[in-house]
């Protein structure tokens, strides 16, 4: 375990099981549909890479960057799209792949943005969900794990662009960010 991690919240083995389970659900629901799996960068990169190898369907992928954090641990509440999808979402089913749903502000903004661009349907697959922090009424369609209100890192999740490469999800020691 990394010296800045207080404890492991979701082990590598548990992550593998979560991804397999989500992939099975997505395969069942998206079978026969023309869809685009859209990763929200940078946090979703590891999760999406694993998930897409387990979904045994034909689909396109794309990426977006939307931010409301900057370098801190709290969302600023102001969302901006830094990089939009390259594929036109008009008339298509979109599955957003997200690392964590916290306040829901960023995801809500992205969903509304894709709908305004003509997406046929937009659903959300998140690895982690913190419903206790929700500021908008948003429930992910696919959720790997509901987690407590703690600052987590690893498996793509970061603090100040560090810790993304940890093969598990851990709780970051408060002393690191306070």
Query: Angle 12-30/45-54 helices, nearest 10 degrees?
Result: 60
Out of 99, 102, 129, 158, which one is annotated catalytic?
102
Whether 102 sits among the annotated catalytic residues: the reply is yes
Percent of the chain with pLDDT over 90: 90
CA 119 → CA 46, 92, 93, distances in Å?
A: 25, 5, 6
Enter the CATH code of domain 12-151: 3.40.50.2020
* Half-sphere exposure for 11 (CA within 13 Å, toward CB): 3
**Residue 103 pLDDT > 80, yes or no?**
yes
Query: Tell me, what's the pLDDT at 178?
Result: 86
Residue 162: pLDDT band with limits 50, 70, 90: very high
Residue 67: pLDDT band with limits 50, 70, 90: confident
Q: Which residue is associated with the tokens 């008009």?
A: 90
Average pLDDT over residues 54-72: 85
Percent of the chain with pLDDT over 70: 95
Q: How far apart are CA 127 and CA 145, in angstroms?
A: 6
In contact, 154 and 168? CB cutoff 8 Å: yes
């Amino acid at each position: 375990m990394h010296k800045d991690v207080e404890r492991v919240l979701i082990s590598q083995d548990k992550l593998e099981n979560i991804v397999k389970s989500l992939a099975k659900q997505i395969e069942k629901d998206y079978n026969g549909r023309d869809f685009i799996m859209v990763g929200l960068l940078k946090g979703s990169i590891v999760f999406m890479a694993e998930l897409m190898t387990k979904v045994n369907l034909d689909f396109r992928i794309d990426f977006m960057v939307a931010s409301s954090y900057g370098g801190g641990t709290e969302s600023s509440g102001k969302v901006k799209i830094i990089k939009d999808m390259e594929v036109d979402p008009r008339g298509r089913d979109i599955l957003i792949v997200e690392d964590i749903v916290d306040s829901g502000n960023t995801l809500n903004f992205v969903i509304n943005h894709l709908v305004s661009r003509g997406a046929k349907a937009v659903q959300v697959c998140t690895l982690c969900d913190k419903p206790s922090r929700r500021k908008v009424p948003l429930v992910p369609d696919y959720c790997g794990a509901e987690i407590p209100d703690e600052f987590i890192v690893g498996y793509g999740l970061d603090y100040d662009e560090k810790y993304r490469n940890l093969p598990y999800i851990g709780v970051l020691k408060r002393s690191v960010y306070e």
